[in-house]
Amino acid sequence: MASSSSSSSTEHTKFSILASLFNWISKTKTSSRKRSKFRKFIDTFCSPSDYFSAVRLILPNLDRERGTYGLKESVLSVSLIEALGMSRDSPDAFKLINWRKGGANATGANAGNFSLVASEVLQRRQGTTSGGLTIGELNGLLDKLASSENRGEKTSVLAALINKTNTQEMMWIIMIILKDLKLGISEKSIFHEFHPDAEDLFNVTCDLKLVCEKLRDRNQRHKRQDIEVGKAVRPQLAMRVSDAHAAWKKLHGKEVVVECKFDGDRIQIHKNGANVHYFSRNFLDHSEYAHGMSDIIVQNVLDERCILDGEMLVWDTSLNRFAEFGSNQEIANAARDGLDSDRQLCCILFIRLDLKLSFSFSSALR
């Protein structure tokens, strides 16, 4: 066992240790054992002054300090092919490109799981010995991957990662890049094991780094933090169910309010005087909406400081209807560039969140 957290440095901890934790948790069925193993890792291999370096790798989908990688499976497959120096006509290249089927023609055992298909390809090209990559080095390379402006630069970073890892470690890095570790343990459980107040603090700040820095001592309770205008608040999302019958069963026959489902982008608008910020459901800052919407918000929303939750869409004035899904960015960019268009951004607002933490529906539908 390594030294205790009081003397160890998170950044100097080998990523192989974290990969071993991922392997163990993913294979363990009992939730309590998963949580205790996570706690033991934090206490043994991480320094309280830098929990964030490790936690951001365990909850990659909540890390907003690093930009997006721009690498979904289709682009990542091509980048890996180039990083490995493979011919695009090779069987393994076909396997990566056709990862949903597990290969070019037949269905493979790992079909539909990109990281497992990639590990099949990698194990024929990587050794089993760890390259000694540390958590600090991995975060540095992931920062570089996120800031890379073209596929060539991203491919170079992936090649460096491949050279510093074995197949098992690289498989987990791919899952970190895709922001889905499939560990079978909820972020709620991880937050609770990290600190009793971690989930509450994250919900009102959407700032994983802040959570790690403020809640270093698990035995010291944190004073409830107020919501701040200008900082994303975690939105409440509907529970996903299989069909309408299952949804009705959940309601237990109670009277309900039904709202129209608009096919746009969920957006959170923070107004502080003339300053307006826009955040997605994943807490990403969408400043591109400012040119097309901020003047309208400032002129029509009477509250000086408030948070609004709604759906950002595009209205087609020539057809007198909402435009098809996926046109928000195009119209936002046109507004930014001062281009005339029959289409304009519009926002359907559902909820106003006041600063006393109470919700009020903008309208009730029967």
- From the candidates 29, 250, 261, 356, which is the catalytic residue? 261
Average pLDDT over residues 268-288: 90
Specify whether 201 is located in the same domain as 85. Answer: yes
Specify whether 211 is located in the same domain as 292. Answer: no
250 is catalytic: no
Determine how β-strand 275-280 pairs with β-strand 321-322: unpaired
Helix, strand, or coil (residue 234): coil
Residue where a domain terminates, one of 199, 225, 251: 225
pLDDT tens for 137-158 read 999 999 999 999 899 999 999 9
Task: Give the domain extent around 33.
Answer: 1-225
User: How many percent of the chain have pLDDT more than 90?
Assistant: 61
Specify whether 321 is located in the same domain as 209. Answer: no
Specify whether 208 is located in the same domain as 307. Answer: no
Task: Report the run of H or E that residue 80 belongs to, with start and end.
Answer: helix 73-83
Q: Could you tell me which residues are beta bridge partners of residue 312?
A: 265, 347
Determine how β-strand 321-322 pairs with β-strand 343-353: unpaired
pLDDT score of 37 = 95
CB distance 165 to 130 below 8 Å: yes
Specify whether 170 is located in the same domain as 288. Answer: no
CB distance 133 to 140 below 8 Å: no
pLDDT score of 101 = 82
The stretches of 164-307 forming alpha helices (DSSP H) are 167-177, 187-194, 198-205, 208-214, 244-250, 290-300
Does 7 have pLDDT greater than 50? no
pLDDT band at 283 (very low <50, low <70, confident <90, very high): confident
Does 360 have pLDDT greater than 60? no
Indicate the angle between helix axes 167-177 and 135-147, nearest 10 degrees. Answer: 50
Domain containing residue 38: CATH number? 1.10.3260.10
Does 215 have pLDDT greater than 90? yes
Q: What is the pTM of this model?
A: 0.77
Residue where a domain terminates, one of 174, 207, 225: 225
278-286: long-range contacts, CB 8 A cutoff, minimum separation 24: 278/312, 279/206, 279/232, 281/235, 281/237, 282/61, 283/64, 283/206, 283/232, 283/234, 284/64, 284/68, 285/232
Specify whether 38 is located in the same domain as 98. Answer: yes
pLDDT score of 211 = 95
Task: Calculate the alpha carbon distances from 171 to 31, 86, 157, 215, 327 in Å.
Answer: 23, 18, 15, 30, 35
pLDDT tens for 161-205 read 999 999 999 999 999 999 999 999 999 999 999 999 999 999 888
Specify whether 189 is located in the same domain as 284. Answer: no
Q: Which residues contact 19 (CB under 8 A, 6 or more apart)?
A: 168, 169, 172
Window from 42-46, 65-69, 220-224 with minimum mean pLDDT: 220-224
Q: Structurally, how many domains does the chain consist of?
A: 2
Alpha-carbon distance 329 to 320, whole Å? 20
pLDDT score of 354 = 58
Q: Is residue 35 part of a domain?
A: yes
pLDDT tens for 86-123 read 999 999 999 999 998 865 554 567 778 999 999 999 99
Q: Is residue 94 part of a domain?
A: yes
Residue where a domain terminates, one of 225, 243, 275: 225
CA dihedral 249, 254, 257, 260 (to 10 degrees): 20
Q: Is residue 240 part of a domain?
A: no
pLDDT tens for 303-346 read 888 899 989 999 999 999 999 888 898 999 988 888 888 999 99
Q: Is residue 47 part of a domain?
A: yes
pLDDT tens for 222-254 read 887 777 888 888 877 777 888 888 888 888 878
Specify whether 325 is located in the same domain as 191. Answer: no
Query: Residue for token digits 């709604």?
Result: 310
What are the two backbone dihedrals, phi and then psi, of residue 149, each rounded to the nearest 5 degrees?
A: -95, -10
Neighbours of 207 (CB within 10 A): 18
Q: Could you tell me which residues are beta bridge partners of residue 347?
A: 312
Window from 26-40, 231-245, 255-269, 277-291 with minimum mean pLDDT: 231-245
Q: Is residue 243 part of a domain?
A: no
Tokens encoding 270: 């923070």
Specify whether 291 is located in the same domain as 201. Answer: no
Q: Which residues contact 177 (CB under 8 A, 6 or more apart)?
A: 60, 69, 71, 76, 142, 145
Specify whether 173 is located in the same domain as 274. Answer: no
Alpha-carbon distance 25 to 183, whole Å? 6
Domain containing residue 339: CATH number? 3.30.470.30
Does 358 have pLDDT greater than 80? no
